[in-house]
């Protein structure tokens, strides 16, 4: 399966700022913190090094079904619910902006993921980047 299918990218992986992270289990599309940076795994890895994105122009992500997203709206990461949200209350971010209108009932939305630095006490970290 192609990496772009795994991560639900809307652009070729070559258009993303991506790095190869050291070994560790990562699931494509499930953000993780590596060395205090929130990144977006582009591919699923069991234990080998894997590609993670820090600047992804367009990617489809999970969102709360009770939120409508407007183009240009700031997006935050909710680690407790493992989803992106426009509610900034005590969450990590902003980690991106909405690139396409998303209706309230929708379970996904499209964002420009920019990642962000995260205090090490905010989320679990994986020091092997």
Residue 82 is assigned to a structural domain of this protein: yes
pTM of the full predicted structure? 0.70
The 10s digit of each residue's pLDDT in 63-99 is: 899 999 999 999 998 878 878 899 988 777 888 899 9
Length of the chain (residues):
129
Q: Is 53 exposed, middle or buried (0-12, 13-18, 19+ CB in 10 A)?
A: buried
Residue 122 is assigned to a structural domain of this protein: no
What is the C-alpha separation between 59 and 123, in angstroms, rounded?
22
- How many domains are there within the chain? 1
Residue 72 is assigned to a structural domain of this protein: yes
| Cis ω before 94 (30° cut-off from 0) | yes
Domain that holds residue 52: 3-117
What is the C-alpha separation between 42 and 51, in angstroms, rounded?
6
Residue 32 is assigned to a structural domain of this protein: yes
The 10s digit of each residue's pLDDT in 42-70 is: 777 776 666 677 777 888 888 899 999 99
Residue 129 is assigned to a structural domain of this protein: no
Binning pLDDT at 50, 70 and 90, where does residue 3 land? very low
Residue 100 is assigned to a structural domain of this protein: yes
Residue 14 is assigned to a structural domain of this protein: yes
Residue 104 is part of a domain; what is its CATH number?
A: 2.40.300
- The residue ranking higher by pLDDT, 51 or 105, is 105
């Amino acid at each position: 399966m192609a990496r772009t299918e795994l991560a639900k990218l809307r652009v070729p992986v070559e258009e993303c700022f991506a790095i190869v992270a050291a070994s560790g289990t990562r699931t494509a599309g499930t953000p993780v913190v590596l060395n205090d940076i929130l990144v977006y795994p582009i591919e699923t890895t069991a234990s080998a090094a894997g590609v993670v994105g820090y600047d992804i122009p367009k990617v489809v992500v999970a969102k709360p079904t009770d939120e409508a997203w407007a183009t240009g709206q700031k997006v935050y990461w909710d680690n407790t619910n493992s989803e992106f949200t426009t509610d900034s209350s005590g969450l990590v971010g902003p980690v991106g902006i909405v690139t396409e209108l998303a209706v309230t009932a929708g379970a996904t939305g499209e964002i420009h993921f920019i990642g962000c630095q995260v205090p090490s006490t905010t989320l679990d970290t994986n020091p092997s980047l």
